[in-house]
Amino acid sequence: METDVIGSVTDDPVGGRVLVVSPSEPGDRSDDGSFVRGGDAPGTDAGGAGSADGGGSPDRGSDPDTVAAGIADRLPVEVVLRDERTAGEYLEELGPTIDCVVVLGSNTGPLGCLPDDVSIPAVVCERPVAGAGGAEGATGIPVAAVAARVRAVVRETRWRSDLQDQNTRLTALSRYAGDITGCETVDAVLDRTVAAVTDALAFDHCVVLFPDGDRLVPRASALPDPELRHIGVTEGVAGRTLSTGEAEIVADVQSDPDAVINHDDLHALLSVPIGSRGVLQIASRARNAFDERDEEFTEILAGYTREALARLEREVTLRAERDRLHALYAAIPVPVVCVERHEKETTVVEANSAYEEVFPGNPTGQSLSTAVPTEAERGRYEAALNGEGESQGSVIRRVGSREEPVALAVIPVTPPDGSHYAFGVYRTEPVDGGAGETG
């Protein structure tokens, strides 16, 4: 294990549990090798804790009670003491609750009782701990060195676990990002958001609330019964979040003065705004269940949801605008076409009935270069799509059995989604200025 990695983690392992395993028979130790050896228990993933050189000569054996007390005095952890005969059963049943195992002596057999999917760092004291039951003046590694090694391996293990958890969450969120942003309805977006909360972020209870007039209405949820009732748009933690636009963690919603309580068994709450569109809330039966990492990941998820909803809103606006314009030009008695530029290709997306009556063929679906016969006419469309404003002039078109000048006005339209459209309006009455095209 790299010492600079350990040194980057400065917090003590608060709230952890350390198991000290003592020999069943006094003096069960080896005088060979390093005094303190650190590493993951056998059968688990690699990730050792390095070593500490003991030096000196052994004393008459480590006193387990003194070692346990020395660790407890130096670290904010619970220390459990077991001998070799009972340690294996303890590890088999409660292994996932233990942060580190300290073995006094060389017998690491109890570590083999760990389940295959449980990884616990171990500190093996092959030589006695100095001052722990030895004669006065005996030399060896102080119990402080054992406590320091425990601190280091627990820090490293938690750091690796946090990193793995973050990578797992980011991978899952990236998968859901595509799902959420690809949804075609608001309900689908919200349902996928709830699925991401319960799957990618591994939370059990969540709800999405949207404003509806002066009320906040649940639109999608994974909550226990009873169903969440409507609340005022300024009420509760949700109303507070919507008003401030800031995410917040509530340690226990039952004691929050603004909370509207629907479930007495839910306590910790994470409340995150979805822009100005609504609020995503995640609840837990435990108190103080959420931290800054949970808040960060939930804000990322809410960002995906916000963008998906904004896209759907733009598409609704775009469809309404298209429908209005299409209805308008469909009723116009002169030829009209609608073209769209996508990347570098411009295509005719629709032509009205008057266009088909005057000019031969239906150009819908054709590229502009195919549908429009002359370079001058294509130039008018390109100029309008390039942001030069409305383009007007005359172009040469075949009308009936002969070619003649036709008045053309190209009107650019840029919908809210940033796409590029233009409408070409043709007039076939005689054009002043002769038979040529005008620039």
Q: Each residue of 127-150: pLDDT tens digit?
A: 787 654 444 445 567 888 888 999
The CATH number assigned to the domain holding 365 equals 3.30.450.20
Identify whether residues 191 and 336 lie together within a single domain: no
Q: What's the pTM?
A: 0.53
- Burial code (b: 16+ CB inside 10 Å, e: under 16) for 3-42 equals eeebeebeeebeebebbbbbbeeeeebeeeebbbbbbbbe
Confidence of residue 8 (pLDDT cuts 50, 70, 90): very low
Among 153-167, 193-207, 371-385, the least confident range: 153-167
Question: Do residue 11 and residue 147 come from a single domain?
Answer: yes
Question: Where on the phi/psi map is residue 239: left (φ > 0), alpha (ψ -120 to 50), or beta?
Answer: alpha
Identify the domain containing residue 389 by its residue range.
332-427
Q: Which two tokens stand for residue 255?
A: 């004691």
347 and 408 housed in the same domain: yes
- Of 429 and 271, the structure prediction assigns the larger pLDDT to 271
Q: Is residue 225 part of a domain?
A: yes
- How many domains does the chain divide into? 3
- Read off the CATH number of the domain in which 309 is found: 3.30.450.40
Domain presence at residue 325: no
Backbone angles phi, psi at 365, to 5 degrees: 90, -10
**Shared domain check, 156 and 25:** yes
82 and 144 housed in the same domain: yes
Instruction: State the Cα–Cα distance between residues 105 and 92, nearest whole angstrom.
Output: 20
Q: Is residue 218 part of a domain?
A: yes
Percent of the chain with pLDDT over 90: 34
Q: For residue 119, is pLDDT > 90?
A: no
369 and 342 housed in the same domain: yes
* The pairing of beta strand 129-130 with beta strand 141-142: parallel
The Cα–Cα gap between 265 and 286 comes to: 9
Q: Based on the domain organization, do 144 and 239 belong to the same domain?
A: no
Any domain includes 320: no
Kindly tell me if the per-residue pLDDT of 3 is higher than 50.
no
Same domain, residue pair 152 and 192: no
Say yes or no to pLDDT of 262 above 90: no
Last residue of a domain, one of 134, 163, 192: 163
CB neighbours (10 Å) of residue 50? 17
Tell me if 157 is assigned to some domain: yes
Name the more confident of 207 and 175: 207
* Residue 294 to residue 147: CA distance in whole angstroms: 31
| CA–CA distance, 413 with 410 (Å, rounded to integer) | 10
- pLDDT band per the 50, 70, 90 thresholds, residue 436: low
Same domain, 340 and 285: no
